[in-house]
Amino acid sequence: MQISSRFTIAIHVLTAIDVFKDEYKTTSDLLASSVHTNPVVIRRIIQQLKAADLIDVIRGSGGASLKKEPSQITLLEIYRAVDCVESGDLFHFHEDPNTQCPVGRNIHAVLDNKLIKMQEAFENEMKKTTLSDILEETKQLIKEEQN
């Protein structure tokens, strides 16, 4: 199972919006070029980020900007904004285990709480990292490349 690439693309988009804000209008074409994907993919993600109140978008070629300080945007917020997993559950349990089987009859009782705890740990880790952390590392690498 993999988390949708929308998550990493959204982080990339938000990072690029901040890095390029003083040099370029951060349009979907510019962002698509940075991500190396179709602008339609970027537009969908931008819509989700806007709906989550993480960015502002000026129609036409005005570009996008962060609506919050990067230190106030956690990876969990981004993750939730772009609907990376179905119905908010990281793990999808198979629908209909065989209740005639002793394993099938008991697997939910054994796994359900463990899966919930794993998802909570995952989400708690994402709460600890902000867009500011990503930006700091990205800008440092850019600076090193320029030297």
In a domain, 1, yes or no: no
pLDDT, tens digit, for every residue of 66-93?
A: 999 999 999 999 999 997 766 667 777 7
In a domain, 57, yes or no: yes
This prediction's pTM: 0.86
In a domain, 16, yes or no: yes
Query: Is the Cβ–Cβ distance between 28 and 42 less than 8 Å?
Result: yes
pLDDT, tens digit, for every residue of 26-50?
A: 999 999 999 999 999 999 999 999 9
Question: Identity (one letter) of the amino acid at 29?
Answer: D
What CATH number does the domain containing 59 carry? 1.10.10.10
In a domain, 72, yes or no: yes
The domain containing residue 134 runs over which residues? 6-146
Give mean pLDDT, residues 87-107. 84
Q: How many domains does the chain have?
A: 1
In a domain, 98, yes or no: yes
Range list of β-strands (E), 15-62: 55-58
Average pLDDT, whole number, for the chain? 91
